[in-house]
Amino acid sequence: MNILCESRGRTLIVKVNGEIDHYSSNELKNKTDREYKQAKSKNIVFDFSGVTFMDSSGIGVIMGRYKNVISNGGVIGAVSISKELRKIFDLSGLFKIIKCYENIESALKDFSVRGQ
Confidence check: pLDDT of 10 > 80: yes
Of the pLDDT bands very low, low, confident and very high (cuts 50, 70, 90), residue 116 is confident
**Contact call for residues 61 and 20 (beta carbons, < 8 A):** yes
Position 113 scores a pLDDT of: 87
Position 111 scores a pLDDT of: 94
Establish how many alpha carbons lie within 13 A of residue 101's alpha carbon, considering only the half-sphere containing its beta carbon: 19
Measure Cα distances from 29 to 3, 49, 103, 110 in Å: 10, 18, 22, 25
**CATH number of the domain residue 18 falls in:** 3.30.750.24
Position 40 scores a pLDDT of: 96
What is the rounded distance in angstroms from the CA atom of residue 79 to the CA atom of residue 48?
Answer: 6
Domain limits for position 28: 2-113
pLDDT digits (tens, 9 = 90+) for 13-46: 999 999 999 999 999 999 999 999 999 999 999 9
pLDDT digits (tens, 9 = 90+) for 46-102: 999 999 999 999 999 999 999 999 999 999 999 999 999 999 999 999 999 999 999
Position 114 scores a pLDDT of: 79
Q: What angle in degrees, to the nearest 10, is found between the helix axes of 25-38 and 56-71?
A: 20
* Number of structural domains found in the chain: 1
